[in-house]
Structure 1
């Protein structure tokens, strides 16, 4: 990636200015803080209590193998829920007006296997700025060579089946974070367009807290329970597969569904749209009326509101979503919603199939360009410039 991206259509900035003014007015009129309320603290206590209860039940050794596996799967799911509900808001600075509280809660990210400092760069800075822009948004680079989400990327034979195996690969997301991804990103020259110049203490934090994570979830079970090393390692794997499956699916359903755009910058490296308008075209809500989804997913089922107002705690998203939707209608912007989690899964599946199997078959019908080609690789489809997916989103 060499281009320096800019959002250049400042004439479109009126939408975000209006939406922000209306949202600010809502909080002022109701005398509400944009940060955590009592319900948010109750959620925090619930997920932390559930996580540590499951952990100590596993260490008790009271149960047989089948129950232990079930508890380990549940522990992985609760780890993801802590990430969604507590860490995500804390790292964005939206949990509390106190930076010390936010920083303290963000340290829970270390407990579940990830690095909050790196997440603040790759997610808060890069993903939230360059959402769905191939080559710039690393959040959509799930498994290079295996999963194709960029229409300009060449299609290989394996990717024909990505709609079949992608969901299984998502389960590896958390394991990759714990064992590989954070190390790789830390020592890259840059993440997206952000040049890496880490404070010295972050070198210590990276290795020290990774060791803590390995010790807590591999070392302690080995010391407390009568386990072989491979049994402890298997438990670690099961926990992270559950955590990764939950995390991977939720992040994909917010940006890789029918109706979302994957904009291509022009030759000068410019995105000819205002930043907020770009967010409206690249982001989707799913299961927005589901009480269960809203409780478990930390507001990530309302990604539109989150991308526009990341400094607002997610418990306020249902209320401000009505404001955002109405403002989007006034400015003739899309407001993509998928009514249910199941429908979002189906839409994501169709996206994977279209960008994999269907793209491969379409290219197979076209003559290969002159010159040697690597076996199994076909020329890319022409790049779309606005709305590459013509199938309407489910609402």
Structure 2
């Protein structure tokens, strides 16, 4: 039976204390709040407004089937961007200093068919603590038995082709989230090796009522008001979520499963022989850090190093604190992993999939 992993900081690294002091000083000296600014509110309004507009156009029944399919695809993209740019920050408590406002904005997660309470348990607590540790970090268990990402995983013959089928599998992530993932994680005893808490009654009610509301808005209501056959509505729903799932899946994979990132094995299954912050540097990578386009659409998830170290800082500030973190890592002779472009990161992830699918390398490991 596995036990929770502890970080020993055996080298007594002062990296994080130094980086945190410098980041805090940056905000204080410049009189800047670490929460959302005007640009962040503009982004949130843009994605939430676009999502509402697209849904309204679809449900208006003013267009033909092909136009509505195009709108559904765009709706899936906007749903993913709401997750990146609004929900993610709010659930981390980074959007505002007011907890009630973070809770309201975190409720935007319901727009993508997901539950913010379950996400907070599995992502904020487990993933951010035990990043890339198999058996603990369930965020990297994308498709157990189908996709192999690390040498310690058991090899299956069909994984030789995982570089071909992995991305279609990623596209199913959102559908799984809507119909399965939240329920499974809510009711299982542990998430990774973290004991699931006793959920308040209101969370049981919220889980089922919001899921029912989502199914009504995206399956039943369209069937009642649109001049489409049931199979056309079902097909549009599936395609919308496949687009959403592909965007979500790829962006999250490029942060932790690229060349250079590590998958540490705890000593005696219990201890990581370095500090938590150094562990984050070894298991996390940025991509396209100079791209304003990536920063706008990915909600700062292209700068995952800064996000993992400072999850309560709104992502709109990541470009400013990146230089601080990178310089501090260099001073302490620690890795700072990044891919210059989105496509170089994507290619790196593809190479990992292909390499981990080779039987001869799996046997040698």
Q: TM-score, normalised by structure 1?
A: 0.90
Tell me if 1:217 matches 2:218.
Answer: yes
Aligned length: 364
Tell me if 1:57 matches 2:57.
Answer: yes
C-alpha contact 2:2 2:269 (8 A) present in aligned 1: no
Q: Post-superposition shift, 1:228?
A: 2.2
The residue aligned with 1:367 is none
SS of alignment partner, residue 260 of structure 2: coil
User: CA 1:300–1:268 in 2, change beyond 3 Å: closer, same or farther?
Assistant: closer
Tell me if 1:68 matches 2:68.
Answer: yes
C-alpha contact 1:91 1:103 (8 A) present in aligned 2: yes
Partners of 1:361 and 1:69 in 2: CA distance:
44
Partners of 2:179 and 2:13 in 1: CA distance:
41
Q: Post-superposition shift, 1:131?
A: 0.3
SS of alignment partner, residue 285 of structure 1: strand
User: CA 1:268–1:221 in 2, change beyond 3 Å: closer, same or farther?
Assistant: closer
SS of alignment partner, residue 266 of structure 1: coil
The residue aligned with 2:22 is 22
Partners of 1:90 and 1:193 in 2: CA distance:
25
Q: Post-superposition shift, 1:194?
A: 2.3
SS of alignment partner, residue 9 of structure 1: coil
Partners of 1:113 and 1:212 in 2: CA distance:
9
Gaps of 5+ in 2: none
SS of alignment partner, residue 12 of structure 1: coil
Q: Residues 1-395 of structure 1: matches in 2 within 5 Å?
A: 2-196=2-196, 197-357=198-358, 360-363=359-362, 381-382=364-365
SS of alignment partner, residue 337 of structure 1: strand
C-alpha contact 2:110 2:214 (8 A) present in aligned 1: yes
User: Quick check: 258-267 or 191-200, which moved more?
Assistant: 191-200
SS of alignment partner, residue 333 of structure 2: coil
Partners of 1:12 and 1:178 in 2: CA distance:
43
Q: Post-superposition shift, 1:10?
A: 4.8
C-alpha contact 2:4 2:194 (8 A) present in aligned 1: no
Q: Post-superposition shift, 1:280?
A: 0.2
C-alpha contact 2:280 2:308 (8 A) present in aligned 1: yes
Gaps of 5+ in 1: 364-379, 383-395
* Per-residue Cα deviation, 1:248-307 (whole angstroms, up to 9, x for no partner): 000000000000000011115111111000000000000011111100010000000000
* Per-residue Cα deviation, 1:333-353 (whole angstroms, up to 9, x for no partner): 011110101101100000111
C-alpha contact 1:59 1:221 (8 A) present in aligned 2: yes
Higher-helix-fraction structure:
2
Q: TM-score, normalised by structure 2?
A: 0.97
C-alpha contact 1:151 1:381 (8 A) present in aligned 2: no
* Per-residue Cα deviation, 1:206-249 (whole angstroms, up to 9, x for no partner): 11100011111111111211222222211211111111010000
Quote the RMSD (CA, aligned, Å): 1.1
* Per-residue Cα deviation, 1:122-143 (whole angstroms, up to 9, x for no partner): 0000000000011110000000
Partners of 1:268 and 1:149 in 2: CA distance:
19
* Per-residue Cα deviation, 1:147-176 (whole angstroms, up to 9, x for no partner): 011311111111111111101111001100
Partners of 2:201 and 2:346 in 1: CA distance:
42
Partners of 1:65 and 1:224 in 2: CA distance:
13
